[in-house]
Homo-oligomer: A and B are copies of this chain.
Amino acid sequence: MILSTKGRYGLKAAFELALNYGGGPVSLKTISSKYNISENYLEQLLAKLRKQGFIETVRGVNGGYMLARKPEEITVGMILRALEGEMTPSDCLSGDVCTRESVCATRVIFEQIEKGINNVIDNTYLGDMVRQNSKVMQEAKLL
């Protein structure tokens, strides 16, 4: 398992906000009950996204959460990194030099894995998810 619930829940929530982009704030309760996620826990995840500038909030009655930018400007990678930290297979890749060996055979592998992951998450925008989803939903209706 590569992603914890933090990344998985948080991405679902971000997708939900993208789905409702432009339609006013969505309350925590709405999201948590739709996806069956603990309310208080999801709150903490959304707080992280807010502190990093991806979502905005409106307090009080009829308040809730909303994307701070267009769905076309937020990548899946931004969301996942905000929640899970760097998406690296090994610490060595982010900053620190390999401890023991000057030339490390496994490092090359880790770099490639990282590249493979980044390639997906940095090139998929929340907007893409919304479009893809509406296409799938339409096809499901046609059956």
Q: CA A99 – CA B35 in complex, angstroms?
A: 9
Quick check: which of A21-29, A40-48, A50-58, A81-89 contacts chain B, the rest being far away?
A: A81-89
B113/A117 in contact, CB under 8 A: yes
Q: In the assembly, what is the distance between CA of A3 and CA of B34, in Å?
A: 32
Q: Is the CB of B109 within 8 A of A133?
A: no
Q: Shortest CB–CB separation between residue A75 and chain B, in angstroms? A: 11
Cβ distance A141 to chain B, nearest Cβ, rounded Å: 11
A interface residues, how many (CB within 8 angstroms): 44
Kindly list chain B residues whose C-beta atoms are within 8 Å of the C-beta of A36: 99-100
* Contact of A112 with B by CB under 8 A: yes
A97 within 8 A of B: no
A103 interface residue per 8 A CB criterion: yes
Tell me whether A112 and B124 are in contact (CB under 8 A). Answer: yes
- The distance in angstroms between the C-alpha atoms of A31 and B3, with both chains bound, is 31
A-B CB contact pairs (8 Å), 21 listed: A1-B88, A1-B91, A2-B88, A8-B90, A11-B106, A12-B105, A12-B106, A15-B105, A35-B100, A76-B109, A102-B140, A103-B133, A103-B136, A103-B137, A105-B129, A109-B120, A112-B120, A112-B124, A113-B117, A113-B120, A115-B120
